[in-house]
Structure 1
Amino acid sequence: MATSENVMSEVLSPTVQLISDQSPHGLTILTTAVFIVGEIAGSGVLALPKAVNDAGWIGFVIIFGCCILSSFTGSLLGKTWSFVLERYPEHRGHVRYPYPLIGQIAYGKPGRILVSFCINFTLFGACVVYLLLAAENVQGLISNFHKDISFCYWLLIIAACLAPLTFLGTPKDFWPVAVGAMTATALACVVLFANMIYDIPKHPDPPHPSPTFLSFFMAFGTICFAFGGHPAFPTFQMDMKEPKKFGKAALLGYLVVLGMYLPVSLGGYFVYGDAVKTNVLNGVSGGGMLITVQLLITIHLVCGFIIIVNPVSQEVEELLKIPKEFNWKRMVTRTLMVTCILFVAETIPHFGAILALVGGSTNTILAYICPPFFYMKMCRMKPDPEQNQDWETVELPLHMKVWNYEIIVVGIVAGIAASYSAIASMADPNTFTVPCYVNITAASARG
């Protein structure tokens, strides 16, 4: 039996050449990494300090662990998609939604349904979080100039501005958006960290609470969300010049994300302690630095929203059989998508609970459970001679099998606990948030 490395080399080389020839203007390793950073970083910068404080010092261990595991499973997902390209020539063109296709090839229709549901739930929830954070940041920005406009109204305004920007086609059509998202977040992290250093004298010996079961696993869900990005990875890989090199892009992207997250998390934990807010910006000192960070993070959230809503929109258009070329049906479909996101945001105007629920449930499935399962299944799949299939199976070393199963078990246990914690928090009367439209209706009645 051939080794996995030899088989991968023999199997992927003709595929890489074919795809490269078909996509001479596709994404490079660097631009793919930029897309990964642009999709992932942003909400994590704002939420991780609170998550680390809730989890205790071990939160930093979880950050490193999630970064390493996410990079590894992202690479596995890339290898699995490369198997698909080599073994199934009919999928070498543009595929609107490649991750569900991987699930279908590995485990049939149930695999596709599971992946599709998880992706739609994850990305939809992420869009809600991005919209809520953008509205909160804009409200904070405007309040600096003594203009008091309700957060709920800002949700409406920002959603109306974002809808036309979602009409763009696939990632290679809007790479400048990814560059803008990454650049804005990188600059925001630098300024935010400087602001935290400035605040050190104001918070001498900050206290740190003892983690509880609920707070610890809520924090875990938040950290998982902060490193989630797998739903869009095959979409990015499909637009690459050399899809085989996606693993390098994933590693580079996650290293950049870790470099952004760590300073802000350290600052939030050691400078503010128990005083840190769910959105860290709500607890730092006001002034020019805070305004700069709010503006930069808002730019990222707008750019990130455009990136993460794209895969969901593409699958909906595939189900409705809407042509891939730009047309009025795409405009209507994506406008309705933004409208649905807006409705959920107005209904649950509390991003922390949504972030933890999505991070602990479907995001965990997509990032830590499905990639190892799908990769191992594709390695041992045998060709069907009746369909003129011809490839060699890949024999994985024992330690790789053990490592993959360990990731799956950890993902299942931690995901269940994090999801339970998030739901319990949302149902807690002390943390329940009244929907925006209830507040607006009540205010109108009083008026």
Structure 2
Amino acid sequence: MSHNQAEMDEQAAREKALEEWLPITSSRTAKWWYSAFHNVTAMVGAGVLSLPYAMSELGWGPGVTMLVLSWIVTLYTLWQMVEMHEMVPGKRFDRYHELGQHAFGEKLGLYIVVPQQLIVEVGTCIVYMVTGGKSLKKFQESVCPNCTPIKTTYFIMIFASANFVLSHLPNFNSISIVSLAAAVMSLSYSTIAWAASLKKGVQDDVSYAPISKTTSGNVFHFFSALGDVAFAFAGHNVVLEIQATIPSTPEKPSKKPMWKGVIVAYIIVALCYFPVALIGYYIFGNKLEDNILISLEKPNWLIATANMFVVIHVIGGYQIFAMPVFDMIETWLVLKMKFNPTSTLRFITRTSYVGITMFIGMTFPFFGGLLGFFGGFALAPTSYYLPCIIWLIIYKPKKFGASWCANWFCIIFGVSLMILAPIGGLRQIILQSKTYKFYS
């Protein structure tokens, strides 16, 4: 055997060992229903609770249009990603950036996809830290209204402690129980939100007029609401990584079970989103808080339960979004920094990551504005139009054909979202930061 051949074999063996160690590719035994509940956990975030408020900023016509369009567009782009996972025979694109590199080239693909994916995943983890902490605080206030108030900062630390433990589960399949619990919780608290609203009945002084008295205020509110809706439909950042856990052979490609799971997930998403958004807005009109559970003050036990469900759900959501980040960090440390793939390395990187997201969440907990800002900035590209651009580059559909037109429609819709949503989100952050005390 030649010297070169021996080197190549050794390199291949090293790559195989690394693949078997990394969290995305180490276990490929998932069933189609894993795909369903992972996708529900990734998609139905705490963002669903801000949808009625987004509706109050958009109004009936634009609000319903935006929800329905987002549901259809993101289901279409998700289908594209599932299809593209194994479009090269004998190869699987297990990570979003690998698909980007195939379309845009080795270097450019990384530069285009990785920053956006990291903004979404790390941003979501930080927002979930804040959501988890605030929901724990709400739970405490509902259960014990006369207790001494505790700072949100401490609740964020309590929430983080669960993630410090769970982040050491080795791979995607090992968090499937956590993810299943999270998916069940998201359906439960969504149902509580709209059922309790219905029971409350339409408020006496309900009004569907615009929230703000000024035109500029309404325009900014409109932009911010677009970001909230975009945030609600953003599970695409982890979809290839979820598909990577499903076994695949030429006779039985992974796209069939994956797509089955996606369809089930999207039906559940519709059952969570549409009733909460429409019933919440119908009952409370423009007097909504940016989290509908705050508008529903009574009964106490029900609101406490719903907030606890939110906590359990965002623990699972945090793990789903953190897993690809762990995969990127661990790959980089082993390949570029030449660390050995050991459990010590894994322990240090993951503990540090949870610690950093906890610290940032404690420092900047303006929840609504952050949603709008991140929602437009990075979620719109990765969920609404990046899959379409990759599809156009690789498959080159016929000009002005159905596929070409559909993709260009999604691209224009997604780019508009990306430009408009952060404007509203940034304004909200600025307004809230004026009255904000650090570590309150």
Q: Judging changes above 3 Å, is the alpha-carbon distance between structure 1 residues 153 and 210 closer, same or farther for their aligned structure 2 residues? A: same
Is residue 51–residue 277 contact of structure 2 (8 Å, CA) maintained in 1?
Answer: yes
Is residue 348–residue 435 contact of structure 1 (8 Å, CA) maintained in 2?
Answer: no
SS of aligned partner of 1:30? helix
Within 2, Cα distance between the matches of 1:82 and 1:396? 25
Q: Judging changes above 3 Å, is the alpha-carbon distance between structure 1 residues 46 and 325 closer, same or farther for their aligned structure 2 residues? A: farther
Q: Residue in 2 aligned with 1:230?
A: 236
Please report how far the alpha carbon of residue 269 of structure 1 lies from its aligned counterpart in structure 2 after TM superposition. Answer: 0.2
Is residue 195–residue 285 contact of structure 1 (8 Å, CA) maintained in 2?
Answer: no
Structure 1 residue 262 corresponds to structure 2 residue 277: no
Structure 1 residue 29 corresponds to structure 2 residue 32: yes
Deviations 1:198-228 (A, max 9, x none): 2226x22411232622111111111111010
SS of aligned partner of 1:240? coil
Please report how far the alpha carbon of residue 372 of structure 1 lies from its aligned counterpart in structure 2 after TM superposition. Answer: 0.6
Structure 1 residue 100 corresponds to structure 2 residue 97: yes
SS of aligned partner of 1:167? coil
Deviations 1:337-365 (A, max 9, x none): 11221122122111111111111111111
Q: Residue in 2 aligned with 1:73?
A: 77
Is residue 207–residue 274 contact of structure 1 (8 Å, CA) maintained in 2?
Answer: yes
Q: Judging changes above 3 Å, is the alpha-carbon distance between structure 1 residues 324 and 136 closer, same or farther for their aligned structure 2 residues? A: farther
Q: Residue in 2 aligned with 1:315?
A: 328
Is residue 348–residue 433 contact of structure 1 (8 Å, CA) maintained in 2?
Answer: no
Q: AA paired with 2:305?
A: T
Q: AA paired with 2:96?
A: Y
* Alignment gaps of 5+ in structure 2: 1-24, 212-217, 248-252
Q: Judging changes above 3 Å, is the alpha-carbon distance between structure 1 residues 134 and 327 closer, same or farther for their aligned structure 2 residues? A: same
* Alignment gaps of 5+ in structure 1: 1-21, 381-393, 440-447
Within 2, Cα distance between the matches of 1:289 and 1:326? 45
TM-score by length of 2: 0.84
Structure 1 window deviating more from structure 2 (155-164 vs 214-223): it is: 155-164
Aligned CA RMSD, in angstroms, stands at 2.2
Is residue 54–residue 209 contact of structure 1 (8 Å, CA) maintained in 2?
Answer: no
Structure 1 window deviating more from structure 2 (267-276 vs 185-194): it is: 185-194
Is residue 334–residue 341 contact of structure 2 (8 Å, CA) maintained in 1?
Answer: no
Structure 1 residue 243 corresponds to structure 2 residue 243: no
Q: Residue in 2 aligned with 1:279?
A: 291
Please report how far the alpha carbon of residue 30 of structure 1 lies from its aligned counterpart in structure 2 after TM superposition. Answer: 2.2
Q: Judging changes above 3 Å, is the alpha-carbon distance between structure 1 residues 238 and 44 closer, same or farther for their aligned structure 2 residues? A: same
Is residue 348–residue 434 contact of structure 1 (8 Å, CA) maintained in 2?
Answer: no
Q: Residue in 1 aligned with 2:401?
A: 398
Within 2, Cα distance between the matches of 1:301 and 1:196? 22
Please report how far the alpha carbon of residue 176 of structure 1 lies from its aligned counterpart in structure 2 after TM superposition. Answer: 0.9
Is residue 195–residue 290 contact of structure 1 (8 Å, CA) maintained in 2?
Answer: no
Structure 1 residue 160 corresponds to structure 2 residue 161: yes
Q: Judging changes above 3 Å, is the alpha-carbon distance between structure 1 residues 228 and 347 closer, same or farther for their aligned structure 2 residues? A: same
Q: Residue in 2 aligned with 1:198?
A: 199
Q: AA paired with 2:245?
A: D
Is residue 125–residue 322 contact of structure 2 (8 Å, CA) maintained in 1?
Answer: yes
Please report how far the alpha carbon of residue 135 of structure 1 lies from its aligned counterpart in structure 2 after TM superposition. Answer: 0.7
Q: Residue in 1 aligned with 2:124?
A: 126
Within 2, Cα distance between the matches of 1:414 and 1:195? 32
Is residue 80–residue 378 contact of structure 1 (8 Å, CA) maintained in 2?
Answer: no
SS of aligned partner of 1:170? coil
Within 2, Cα distance between the matches of 1:210 and 1:228? 27
Within 1, Cα distance between the matches of 2:437 and 2:388? 39
- 5 Å matches for 1:382-393? none
Within 2, Cα distance between the matches of 1:277 and 1:190? 18
Is residue 27–residue 173 contact of structure 2 (8 Å, CA) maintained in 1?
Answer: no
Structure 1 residue 328 corresponds to structure 2 residue 374: no
Structure 1 residue 295 corresponds to structure 2 residue 313: no
Q: Residue in 2 aligned with 1:220?
A: 226
Please report how far the alpha carbon of residue 328 of structure 1 lies from its aligned counterpart in structure 2 after TM superposition. Answer: 1.4
Within 1, Cα distance between the matches of 2:96 and 2:29? 19
Q: Judging changes above 3 Å, is the alpha-carbon distance between structure 1 residues 255 and 110 closer, same or farther for their aligned structure 2 residues? A: same
Give me the identity figure in percent. 24
Q: AA paired with 2:136?
A: V
Instruction: Flag as ranges the 4+ runs of structure 1 deviating above 3 A.
Output: 22-25, 322-326, 394-397, 430-433
Within 1, Cα distance between the matches of 2:328 and 2:316? 20
Q: Residue in 1 aligned with 2:43?
A: 40
TM-score by length of 1: 0.83
Q: AA paired with 2:288?
A: V
Please report how far the alpha carbon of residue 23 of structure 1 lies from its aligned counterpart in structure 2 after TM superposition. Answer: 9.9
Q: Residue in 1 aligned with 2:357?
A: 341
Q: Judging changes above 3 Å, is the alpha-carbon distance between structure 1 residues 326 and 169 closer, same or farther for their aligned structure 2 residues? A: farther
Is residue 79–residue 375 contact of structure 1 (8 Å, CA) maintained in 2?
Answer: no
